[in-house]
Amino acid sequence: MEGWLSLCLVALATLLAVWFLKLSGCKSKPKNRLPPGPWTLPIIGSLHHLVGALPHRTMMALSRRYGPLMLLRLGEVPAVAVSSAEAVALVMKTNDLTFSSRPSIPTMDILACGGKGIVFAPYGEHWRQMRKVCIMELLSSKQVKRMEGIRAELVGNLIRHIADTASTGAAVNISEKVTRLSNDVVTWAVFGSKFAQQGEYLRTLYDTLALLGGFHLIDFFPSSRLVRWLSNGEHNMKRRYSRVQRIIADIIEGRHEAKEAAGSGACNTNDDDMLDVLLRLQQEDALAFPLTTEIIGTVLFDIVGAATETTGRLLEWVMSELACHPEAMAKAQLEVRKVLGEDHRAVITNSDLAELHYMRMVIKEVLRDPKHWENPEQFKPERFENSKMDYMGTCSEFTPFGTGRRRCPGIQFSSSLTELTLANFLYHFDWMLPDGATPASFDMSEKFAFTVSRRYDLHLRAIPHVSLKSMPSK
């Protein structure tokens, strides 16, 4: 994160000019009707309100004061914070088309290949076609089904590793384990297996996500040449973007060479990974625009970045909350073990999950927005009992994957891994806080980044509930 010293330099360098313009009698333009917001300073606008380690908490506090539609002036960039179910419905349903595009932000434009990916692409024909490819091909039910065996194998490996750690009496680093699991599942889905450059690719991905979650002057003062000169945000993003594209180009070249060596015989597209699908569409020239290697690299980066970061963090928070609420943990474990039976010693698969209603309520309780619920700070999964709320964004009070045209297309992919992993955790182990920790004293603080994660890794003690000897080994 770039320091606030640079921001102060920009403000001081231009403040005299602003005062001069005001003194010279420049008349301001008539103001449009805009939402209320916190008081602003010359040049930097509302940015001073967001100084601190947890700007999302600051924005929540400000929204309580200024209302569900709150105007923030982030340097040159006006932004409206939406924080109530009614306002969400107004923005993302009633006026969905108006708000379906994405603003041009310098550092994001670099990563988005000039708007040719998915996540940061402006609304238009390119975005519509790429989203259709995601829904019909890349993140389809067929792809989720294709990955079922791989998911079960990777989760099984994780369960065995946890059992090995538990046998030594050491605490398990849950944060590390679920991040690695998420990385492995997503890279298998995208690239078909682990690959030589996987470590470098994932390191670059997480470095880039850290940059996206940081503060870059150029994003708030895009028209300022002085800021462009002072800021290194664009340079850092370009360097990481080039590294990502180089890795993808190498992988694609290797994929082409392997197919040429295998000959031109008939191939089975049922086993195509996401990269295979995109290369097939590229060869068929199936879209209204050229599907270049650069666009393929950008689309894959969008998918890997969104899937690995969010799924791992969700599992981390679910286990954190359950560990701090033993009654909910016991109830979830009782359900899983009753449904599956005490002799179910192998890895649980997705076909076993249909009757785990309370476990799904636990996940929803972690994902919900605290603003719209009775006793919002109380962890109470039962509030979702007999509720028809799902992940599809049909109810404005519960939109963890977004809603409207820009709703996340990877809901099924993410939820299947989350539920499968959690069910195995609950069935195979009893979980306890580390020695000396109590629910009241356990550190649940967070840190702000691309997604909100725990400030410190989650360590828990795992006690095997059943013997794992009959579980299939890798």
| Residue-wise pLDDT tens digits, 330-339 | 999 999 999 8
What tens digit of pLDDT does each residue of 62-109 get? 999 999 999 999 999 999 999 888 888 888 888 999 999 988 899 999
Mean pLDDT of the chain: 86
Q: What is the pLDDT of residue 272?
A: 86
Quote the number of domains for the chain: 2
Distance CA 149, CA 147 (A): 6
Reported as a pLDDT band with limits 50, 70 and 90, residue 25 is very low
What tens digit of pLDDT does each residue of 116-147 get? 899 999 999 999 999 999 999 888 888 888 89
Instruction: For residue 324, give the nearest of 455, 434, 433 by alpha carbon.
Output: 433
295 shares its domain with 404 = yes
53 shares its domain with 137 = no
64 shares its domain with 144 = no
CB contact at 8 A, 310 and 434: no
Q: Is 408 annotated as a binding residue?
A: yes
- CATH number, domain of 291, equals 1.10.630.10
pLDDT exceeds 80 at position 474: no
What tens digit of pLDDT does each residue of 141-196 get? 888 888 988 999 999 999 999 999 999 999 999 999 999 999 999 999 999 888 88
Q: Residue 119 falls within a domain, yes or no?
A: no
DSSP 28-92: PPPPP--------BTTTBTGGGG-SS-HHHHHHHHHHHH-SEEEEEETTEEEEEE-SHHHHHIII
Strand-pairing partners, residue 81, are: 70
Q: What is the pLDDT of residue 16?
A: 34
Q: Residue 98 falls within a domain, yes or no?
A: no
DSSP symbol at 454: E
pLDDT exceeds 50 at position 14: no
Residues 6+ away with beta carbon under 8 Å from 129: 287, 288, 289
What tens digit of pLDDT does each residue of 35-73 get? 999 999 999 999 999 988 888 899 999 999 999 999 999
203 shares its domain with 297 = yes
Q: What are the φ and ψ backbone dihedral angles of 429, each rounded to 5 degrees? A: -140, 150
pLDDT exceeds 90 at position 365: yes
Reported as a pLDDT band with limits 50, 70 and 90, residue 351 is confident
Instruction: For residue 379, give the nearest of 306, 421, 318, 333 by alpha carbon.
Output: 318
Amino acid (one-letter) located at 440: A
Distance CA 72, CA 252 (A): 43
Instruction: For residue 207, give the nearest of 314, 309, 315 by alpha carbon.
Output: 309
Reported as a pLDDT band with limits 50, 70 and 90, residue 467 is low
Distance CA 160, CA 173 (A): 14
CB contact at 8 A, 463 and 432: yes
188 shares its domain with 45 = no
Q: Give mean pLDDT, residues 8-22.
A: 38
77 shares its domain with 179 = no
DSSP symbol at 121: P
42 shares its domain with 139 = no
% of the chain at pLDDT higher than 90: 55
CB contact at 8 A, 111 and 241: yes
Q: Are strands 429-432 and 77-82 parallel, antiparallel or unpaired?
A: unpaired
Distance CA 171, CA 169 (A): 7
Range of the domain at 78: 4-14+32-83
Q: What is the pLDDT of residue 369?
A: 77
Distance CA 93, CA 296 (A): 30
44 shares its domain with 175 = no
179 shares its domain with 39 = no
440 shares its domain with 350 = yes
